[in-house]
Structure 1
Amino acid sequence: MVLSWTRRNIFRLVKKEKRQTQGGGFGGELEVEVVIPNHFQCPVSLELMTDPVALSTGITYDRVSIEKWIEGGNKTCPVTNQVLTTFDSIPNHAIRRMIQDWCVENNSYGIERIPTPRIPLSNYEISQTCTRILAACQRGDDKKCQELVGKIKVWGRESERNKRCIIGNHASTNPGVGAVLTNAFDCFSSGDSFDKHVAVLEEILEVLTWMTPLEEESVPKLSSKASLNCMVWFLEGKDLASRQSAALLLRQVRVQELAKVGKVVEALVNMIREPIGSTSTKACLATIFNLVSSTENRGEIAQRFVELGLVSLLLEAIVDGEKGVCEKALGVLDCICDTQKGKEVVNNNALTLPLVIKKLLRVSPLASSFAVSILRKNCDKNEEGVLIDAVHVGAFQKLLVLLQVGCDESTKENATELLKLLNGYRNKAECTDSSLDFKYLKKSF
């Protein structure tokens, strides 16, 4: 197959001949067709190779193309169909230099010379760096550790390939990069003051955030008392990048250990009250959800969140938040309603019922499930005023629509029970124009 490479509007204009008259000659640019030699084309992408590498079968491919082929689960050579004995690829410098020479020769046609590629990051380099980081931790040399972690950060910024190599390194070495960095974080968090090692701790936090989710072997060190206290300290700090990194990493720790940290509740509430961005807000809400839903003393923790004014903050987040924020805020509010104090505060807030009902069928099935659960927990048969208010703001119609559209079994059960409760108060509610609420119902005729 011959591949033609046509470039318009980038080639040099053909010079006009002196014999051309003023109104004659060429009226536009000349379209030039440049044919790429077959042996310069990648057999997979059929494009000019920019980083040619040879496999064990002797066939040369462009590095990006063959790596995508292998990462897709293929274990054979695309051309020969032979099973690869090794996935190592060797740079084909001879072909690369020939391609560069060809590019230079055709420079007048707008073809740019391909750059000489960097030597790709290897697992050996990563493993050696990890070993040196561990040695620096044992010596307590935070400067050297910061330098080595910075090296890993630079590698990750250079290319997505490097980042994948760093993240996947744990599969071929023991310990992996994540485990080494969490060990270093725990090591330099154990001192008398976090200020002494703040530079290296910030560097480690930044690298760990783009390695999430971390492998299982990294979690114990990240969940140590020293590491958790340090992350909460960063959460309370003034540096926005470090606060966001700490918020993202708290989702990875063991929630039972996190619940023992004294100031974590206050720090998380302050992050919600003064948000940095939706990413950190979602991370904090996810951590709060874990604390109030799965810890042994979740009732006590939920009450502390309520006392700090979390309910009103959650309602504000539901009003203005994007889909992910809204889902998580409703999930936390649902868990808070499991406690008597939380239920009282939720019911006493005039925004709760209209806002929760408004979000039904408007965000996602998960958000609707949380919303129905919140209504079920707060619409008690003894709370006549709450039931009348729920009917007044359209809960009955919304629940009917939800059952017709479809939902999971738990939500269906809660919605059915709510309809039974609300049905007896429909006549007591003020008359409202509910025609708009029924517009989504399917007609039976």
Structure 2
Amino acid sequence: MALRAFKATAMFPFRRRAKPSLSSLSIPSHFICPISLDLMQDPVTLPSGITYDRRTIELWFSSGHRTCPVTLLSVELDDQLLIPNHSIRRMIQDWCVANRSHGVERIPTPKTPITSLQVSDTLAEISAACRSGDRLLCAELIALLKKSAEESERNLRCILSNGATPVLAAAFLRFKTENFLSAFAGISNPDDKETILQLTSDESLKSIILILSQGSLSGKHNAILVLKELLVAVHETEQAITVARTEQLVEKVVMLIKNPISLESTKASLVAAYYLSFTQATKLAETGLVPILLEILVDAEKSLSEKALAALDGVLEEAKGRESAAEHALAMPVLVKKVFRVSDLATEFAVSGMWKMCRKWGEGEEGRPEKCAVEALKFGAFQKLLLLLQVGCSDRVKDKASELLRILNGLEGKEECVETLDFRGVKRAL
């Protein structure tokens, strides 16, 4: 039952894409993985004697199973568990060559996975090179480790499980260059908060900001990935304010949002901006972040929308952010639009953003909240908030939506909804 359920839910991106001429071709049964029911690419044998494709059996074990899927015998996971079946692999390769005319491509010879002993030895050499200040040797060893990590997910897991994160962090702290930061970004474990917090020193932060400013595109990309994890790690700690106030940090994060390198780096920058907004919302607004976020939100996909809305909601916490949003024509239309059709998380941030803009701001700001509320009413916020309460939402969203409805209800007659205006002058049948 477990194997049947696993087959029904697992995704196998390496499944053979059969051409029409292959439809009648019979694959020898001992070439087929018992899990994926497809031609094995990298056959390995368990102690039970059953041979599987390496990636499918690793996915089976990573799903929490600790048995051989066919025999149901218990297995203990270690580096020696999966024995490469070279004879079957060569037979499959010969069969592929023999059936080339049917559109079958020869499977490549897989590279031998890295072992825990090899990882431990390499990490020990990297540590020794760091202590002696041998930057060239350290870089060469890290490059080999990075290459192994890129070869397979299995290699990456092996490297991480053997303590690579603190070693790579130490290498960056020792030499503080783009290459070492890139290696840390590519291999480190984001859950290792203790190690990531080691990068909060003034010199380390200055090096990261220098790379964000003057590094290559890949260097900037890796720097923002590391910075994002660093800001997540220090959130709600005593170091959060100190890190957020690092000179030019806010400016460099906003720069990467304004001038994107890649979708991944933009998302990382938005997350960084969200965490910076807890202490630097005013400064973020002063750097012109609000208009940039609103432009992004016009046609952003789900994940990007969620992160941009989170950053916007954070900046709207302060008066400067609300002022900037109130002066922008897209603010209310975008927030009202994002209440639905994205996700529950996006809904929460969109409602929170409207709530902050439509409430009383403070002394000297009379009139602005009402102007924002009229804008919200104009673009159909009242109807959407009513619908939101009907379909259900979290208590936190419900409270803010209810307060917004009370505010908007008090403005009845001051502004017609856009939907109503669209049909003004249309003669209706009696």
TM-score, structure 1 as length reference: 0.76
SS state of the match for residue 398, structure 1? Answer: helix
Partner of 1:77: 68
Residues in 1 aligned to 2:68 and 2:26: alpha-carbon distance in whole angstroms: 29
Q: Given the superposition, is the C-alpha separation of residues 138 and 367 from structure 1 closer, same or farther in structure 2, using an over 3 Å criterion?
A: same
Partner of 1:187: 174
Q: Given the superposition, is the C-alpha separation of residues 122 and 354 from structure 1 closer, same or farther in structure 2, using an over 3 Å criterion?
A: same
Partner of 2:122: 129
Partner of 1:290: 275
**Residues 32-111 of structure 1 correspond to what in structure 2 (within 5 A)?**
36=28, 42-45=33-36, 49-85=40-76, 87=78, 88-96=81-89
Sequence identity percentage: 42
Q: Which runs of 5+ in 1 are unaligned?
A: 1-5, 11-30, 190-197, 438-445
**Residues 239-388 of structure 1 correspond to what in structure 2 (within 5 A)?**
239-253=216-230, 254-255=234-235, 256=240, 257-293=242-278, 298=279, 301-380=280-359, 383=367, 384-388=370-374
1:243 Cα deviation after fit: 0.9
Letter in 2 for 1:302: A
Residues in 2 aligned to 1:284 and 1:33: alpha-carbon distance in whole angstroms: 50
Residues in 2 aligned to 1:86 and 1:424: alpha-carbon distance in whole angstroms: 65
Q: Given the superposition, is the C-alpha separation of residues 311 and 89 from structure 1 closer, same or farther in structure 2, using an over 3 Å criterion?
A: closer
Pairing 1:231–2:224 present: no
1:246 Cα deviation after fit: 0.9
Letter in 1 for 2:167: V
Q: Given the superposition, is the C-alpha separation of residues 78 and 435 from structure 1 closer, same or farther in structure 2, using an over 3 Å criterion?
A: same
Does the CA-based 8 Å contact 2:380-2:417 persist in structure 1? Answer: no
> Which structure: larger Rg?
1
Pairing 1:406–2:397 present: no
Q: Given the superposition, is the C-alpha separation of residues 139 and 102 from structure 1 closer, same or farther in structure 2, using an over 3 Å criterion?
A: same
**Residues 138-153 of structure 1 correspond to what in structure 2 (within 5 A)?**
138-153=131-146
1:321 Cα deviation after fit: 2.9
Q: Given the superposition, is the C-alpha separation of residues 413 and 112 from structure 1 closer, same or farther in structure 2, using an over 3 Å criterion?
A: closer
1:289 Cα deviation after fit: 0.9
| Higher alpha-carbon deviation: 233-242 or 66-75 | 66-75
1:116 Cα deviation after fit: 4.4
Q: Given the superposition, is the C-alpha separation of residues 272 and 49 from structure 1 closer, same or farther in structure 2, using an over 3 Å criterion?
A: closer
1:134 Cα deviation after fit: 0.8
Residues in 1 aligned to 2:30 and 2:337: alpha-carbon distance in whole angstroms: 63
Q: Given the superposition, is the C-alpha separation of residues 58 and 139 from structure 1 closer, same or farther in structure 2, using an over 3 Å criterion?
A: same
Q: Given the superposition, is the C-alpha separation of residues 250 and 113 from structure 1 closer, same or farther in structure 2, using an over 3 Å criterion?
A: closer
Pairing 1:397–2:388 present: no
Does the CA-based 8 Å contact 1:41-1:47 persist in structure 2? Answer: yes
Letter in 2 for 1:187: R
Does the CA-based 8 Å contact 1:150-1:203 persist in structure 2? Answer: no
Deviation per CA, 1:29-85: give whole Å up to 9, x if none. Answer: xx986662x655555555555544333344444433433333332223344433225
Does the CA-based 8 Å contact 2:297-2:308 persist in structure 1? Answer: yes
Q: Which runs of 5+ in 2 are unaligned?
A: 1-17, 361-365, 424-430
Q: Given the superposition, is the C-alpha separation of residues 349 and 74 from structure 1 closer, same or farther in structure 2, using an over 3 Å criterion?
A: closer
Stretches of 4+ moved more than 6 A in 1? 101-113
Q: Given the superposition, is the C-alpha separation of residues 402 and 110 from structure 1 closer, same or farther in structure 2, using an over 3 Å criterion?
A: closer
Residues in 1 aligned to 2:286 and 2:399: alpha-carbon distance in whole angstroms: 32
TM-score, structure 2 as length reference: 0.78
Residues in 2 aligned to 1:345 and 1:109: alpha-carbon distance in whole angstroms: 64
Does the CA-based 8 Å contact 2:374-2:415 persist in structure 1? Answer: yes
Residues in 2 aligned to 1:113 and 1:392: alpha-carbon distance in whole angstroms: 63
From 132, 157, 163, the equivalent of 1:164 is 157
Residues in 1 aligned to 2:345 and 2:65: alpha-carbon distance in whole angstroms: 37
Does the CA-based 8 Å contact 1:315-1:351 persist in structure 2? Answer: yes
Deviation per CA, 1:162-208: give whole Å up to 9, x if none. Answer: 233333x2xxx3xx11221111111112xxxxxxxx4xx32541452
